[in-house]
A = this chain, B = another copy of it.
Amino acid sequence: MLAYGVRVGDVFKAIADETRRAILDELAERDEQTLFEICGRLAVGHGLASSRQAISQHLEILEDAGLVRTERRGRYKYHFLDTAPLQLIISRWPRPEENNHAD
């Protein structure tokens, strides 16, 4: 269920960075944000002091990985979280047999 142009490795590399994980956390907490909103809320809520350009580049990587979808309205660009690509990670390797202690 991966969108066209999204390579598998992109998803893994996208979530390998701490700042990008914080961005996903932010969008999970509050969807539909502009670049400036994300910058501000990251600085306040997550203690990250990244520049606008840095966040912009991170968002581009997340979008390429299919983890963030965007929608342009006028001069604003809104960002939405899409966790569907994470299913790749969940389904790739077997679940730990955590119920071995029973029976």
Residue A89 contacts which of B82, B86, B94 (CB distance < 8 angstroms)?
Answer: B86
Residue count of chain A within 8 Å CB distance of chain B? 24
CB of A5, distance to nearest CB on chain B (Å) = 18
- In the bound assembly, the distance between CA atoms of A90 and B92 in angstroms comes to 12
Q: Which of A14-22, A32-40, A44-52 contacts B (4 or more CB under 8 A)?
A: A14-22
Whether A16 lies near B12 (C-beta < 8 A) is yes
Q: Are B89 and A90 in contact (CB under 8 A)?
A: yes
* Cα of A95 to Cα of B83 in the assembled complex, Å: 6
At the interface, yes or no: A30 with Cβ under 8 Å from chain B?
no
Q: Which residues 58-103 of A have a CB within 8 angstroms of B? A: 81-84, 86-87, 89-90, 92-96, 98
Residues from chain B with Cβ under 8 Å of A81 in the complex: 93-94
Given contacts A28-B94, A83-B94, A89-B90, 13 further A-B contacts (CB under 8 A): A9-B18, A12-B15, A12-B21, A16-B16, A81-B93, A81-B94, A83-B93, A83-B95, A83-B96, A84-B98, A86-B89, A87-B96, A90-B90
